[in-house]
A and B are shown apart, each in its own frame.
Chain A
């Protein structure tokens, strides 16, 4: 390896010639300025390209802005219509909320009976589970959820009980 290093000594000296190759005078004085200018220009182009992108992806928005530019009075009308729309949505949602509350109020008298039935149904597996505390877990055959109204003890359909509780019990092995 040492022999090789010695063999390359002259070549290494020759390669030093490359260090004497210098760019035109004053080149480095302007270099950083050019880089910073290009960065600034790139940032400006980015902002411009965002506008162009908006123009291609949402031309309706751009034309809307143009209309507003041409007729500033329209901005007020547009803002007023937006506010009216917002108020309308709020009023409508309040009304629909009130209507749903009324529906619940109508169906409420049947709810306690239904709840008792539900409580009875759900209590049974739990009692069974406590009785067989040393056995394994067995899922109840009752469906976990049901979209069908649950039948009550008196044959009335519980309007507010659109579910059936799941029960789990342990079984002996």
Chain B
């Protein structure tokens, strides 16, 4: 006898069981409970994108919160031409880029810890296990070097790498979020990868 896994019962009348569109409608009417649910749905992705752009937990926390607050106050202007998720992402991306432009080159790293699965990731272990001709570095040092290399890229190039190679977004989604065409996304991605490869070849076996 095959035992099926228990399916969580979701009440469609509670915010957790509601569709995004319904939550947005309720939030537009000032329902903070509905907006709380929207925040919970997208907080991880929004925070992670900003964190990978800034390499600083505190900055990412501030910008992520500001983005959600800005989105709430601007909800009335949300026409529904794109999904709420894309619209929210656009707000977060613009705020992050503005923040980085103001901060210019004053990078202050406040890196998050690597989770316990990192050392079990065979791809990552393979990258650092071959000590010749690559310099011997541990995962934590590699993490630092990777963040330093990312910070050397321009904001648009870094954003494309973060959204595509780290967050797994499609070219089409990135084009919509960054308000540019797909060709631009592809060319930025290629150029950014080339640069990263040059910056990191000393520390990881990348070719």
Contacts of A21 in B (CB 8 A): 51-52, 111-115, 143
Contacts of B127 in A (CB 8 A): 10, 13-14
Q: Is the CB of A14 within 8 A of B117?
A: no
User: Which B residues, 174 to 207, have Cβ-Cβ distances below 8 Å to chain A?
Assistant: 190, 193, 196-197, 200, 204-207
Contacts of A38 in B (CB 8 A): 65, 69
CB distance from A38 to the nearest CB of B (A): 6
- B186 (CB) vs chain A CBs: closest residue: A1
Q: With A35-B68, A36-B39, A39-B32 given, is the CB distance from A17 to B47 under 8 Å?
A: no
Judge whether A66 is part of the interface by a CB distance below 8 angstroms: no
Interface size of B by Cβ–Cβ distance < 8 Å? Answer: 47
Judge whether A42 is part of the interface by a CB distance below 8 angstroms: yes
- Apart from A21-B113, A32-B39, what are 14 other A-B pairs with CB-CB below 8 Å? A11-B197, A12-B165, A13-B123, A15-B196, A16-B123, A17-B114, A17-B143, A18-B166, A20-B115, A20-B117, A21-B114, A23-B112, A32-B40, A36-B39
A-B contact pairs, 29 of them (CB 8 A): A4-B190, A8-B193, A11-B165, A11-B197, A12-B165, A14-B127, A14-B146, A15-B196, A18-B146, A18-B162, A20-B118, A21-B113, A21-B143, A22-B114, A23-B47, A23-B51, A23-B112, A24-B57, A27-B61, A28-B44, A28-B47, A31-B64, A31-B65, A32-B43, A33-B36, A38-B69, A39-B32, A40-B32, A42-B69
